[in-house]
Structure 1
Amino acid sequence: MTESTPRKHATQAANQRGEPRSEQAYSYIIEAIKEGTLPPGTRIREVDLSERIGLSRTPVREALNRLQLEGLVANDPIRGTIITELDHSMISELYAMREMLEGTAAGFAAQHASEVEIAFLREISDRDARLKETQDLVKNNKLFHSTLYRCAHNRYLLKMLHSLHESMMLLGRSTLAKPNRAEAARSEHQAIIDALEARDPEAAEKLARNHIREAYKIRLEAFFESYDD
């Protein structure tokens, strides 16, 4: 498959910056997973990726090995190398970790976030009411959560959350696409911000954990619906 002109330009720009070729291949695959052009279950062939990215097979192989270590790529006995598909247990484990880490982040944020940072979170949340398209809501939701993580002011927690969210890419469509979920999520965000403003770490953690549990319920519903005849 021939790669697009924008991708060629991106590869050329990366070469000019001296970016390692294995890193270029890694970034390409990550972006393809995010964009949905390489959805979970897709078979991956080194030769195809090499042609699409415009790199030799060696850096592509190195990128795939790295992605396998990170759990984003798996070896299927029948299909070969594929983008990892999450089963029920994996989704449950992922959300259990997300609940714990995001709850901790909210608790830390209640203690360490500046007034300016909390005001920015409020601004992001208020913006939701003016957004209509799901893709815009998803983008704004990501901004809210990434800002909340940084408000915790803990570099090690931030690193763990970043790693977790790489695996979250495998979940596919956002739960915000479900009817009424965007409005409910906005209310949950507002409650978390209220707890931050009150400098109440226990309440902030509890509310953040509940927010993730609600998202998990929607995710499980979508997962089981996908198996309905």
Structure 2
Amino acid sequence: MGDQKQGQKDAYALILDAIDVGMYRPGDRLVESELAERFGVSRTPIREALQRLETQSLLARDGRSLIVSSLDHNQLAELYVVRTELEGLAARLAARHAAEEEIRVLREMVEDDRKIVNDPSALSRSNRRFHKQIHLASHNRYLVQQLDLVHRTMALLATTSLAVEGRGETAIEEHEAIVAALENRDGEAAHEALKNHISKAFETRLKLDSGMD
């Protein structure tokens, strides 16, 4: 039974990671047999993982097939509203509860990101790690769970807003402001800096999706 549960978890994580890194993009069809062969997992845990992803709305039905979901404008707006509030709360709690070591790790992340500012893919991966570190630094397990769900849904965005010219540098400066507020243990400033960061990301996303320069 334990091996079966591990297989289910692994299949779910493997498919989710594949969507997250863009191996499967919105609209792509996921075939049980192909996934089992690609990941070297039996079809039963693959089937159960697909059902779980469908329940979470990360996959959608297209006739008899399952495809990677896409977000329409309204869904995107709703997602960013929730993300802004939850991320802001995480920053406020992190200012109060984060260990000094956790804040130092965030500071190092910002400095390291300056070296990859011209690599949108690497910067996007680092950005996810940065936000995850803030979530964990909030030391609130229920908030972390909700943010995990939000960020899983973010994987449905086919492109990163960090690919927009100049957004990488701006995002790093926004991260800098968040870390500075955490270092000062200023919960309100951290809350506002994080919400501002997400608001700017949403604005960039809207411009990207509309084809604006």
Tell whether the structures are fold-level matches, with TM greater than 0.5.
yes
Q: Give 3-state SS (helix, strand or coil) of 1:75's partner.
A: strand
**Equivalents in 2 of 1:194, 1:177: separation in Å?**
25
- In the alignment, residue 191 of structure 2 is paired with which amino acid? E
CA 1:56–1:137 in 2, change beyond 3 Å: closer, same or farther?
closer
Q: Give 3-state SS (helix, strand or coil) of 1:206's partner.
A: helix
Q: Give 3-state SS (helix, strand or coil) of 2:29's partner.
A: coil
CA 1:58–1:140 in 2, change beyond 3 Å: closer, same or farther?
closer
The one-character-per-residue Cα deviations of 1:9-65 (angstroms, maximum 9, x if unpaired) are xxxxxxxx7664333432332122122221111122333333434445433221111
- In the alignment, residue 117 of structure 1 is paired with which amino acid? E
The structure with the larger Rg is: 1
**Equivalents in 1 of 2:6, 2:203: separation in Å?**
41
Pairing partner for 1:130 from 104, 115, 132: 115
- In the alignment, residue 146 of structure 2 is paired with which amino acid? M
- In the alignment, residue 60 of structure 2 is paired with which amino acid? A
Pairing partner for 2:170 from 184, 198, 201: 184
Q: Percent identity?
A: 43
Structure 1 residue 121: Cα displacement: 1.3
Structure 1 residue 71: Cα displacement: 1.2
RMSD of aligned alpha carbons = 2.2
Pairing partner for 2:84 from 92, 95, 99: 99
Does the 8 Å contact 2:84/2:198 carry over to 1? yes
Does the 8 Å contact 2:4/2:45 carry over to 1? no
Q: Give 3-state SS (helix, strand or coil) of 2:156's partner.
A: helix
Matches within 5 A, 1:192-211: 192-211=178-197
Pairing partner for 2:74 from 71, 85, 89: 89
CA 1:24–1:153 in 2, change beyond 3 Å: closer, same or farther?
closer
The one-character-per-residue Cα deviations of 1:83-121 (angstroms, maximum 9, x if unpaired) are 111111111111111101100000011111122222221
Structure 1: 5+ residue stretches without partners = 1-16
Structure 1 residue 188: Cα displacement: 0.9
Pairing partner for 2:139 from 134, 153, 159: 153
- In the alignment, residue 152 of structure 1 is paired with which amino acid? S
**Equivalents in 1 of 2:12, 2:136: separation in Å?**
25
Does the 8 Å contact 2:110/2:172 carry over to 1? yes
Structure 2: 5+ residue stretches without partners = none
CA 1:59–1:129 in 2, change beyond 3 Å: closer, same or farther?
closer
Structure 1 stretch displaced more, 140-149 or 129-138: 129-138
**Equivalents in 2 of 1:127, 1:53: separation in Å?**
32
What count of residue pairs does the alignment treat as equivalent?
A: 210
Cross-structure match for 1:47: 33
Cross-structure match for 1:66: 52
Cross-structure match for 1:108: 93
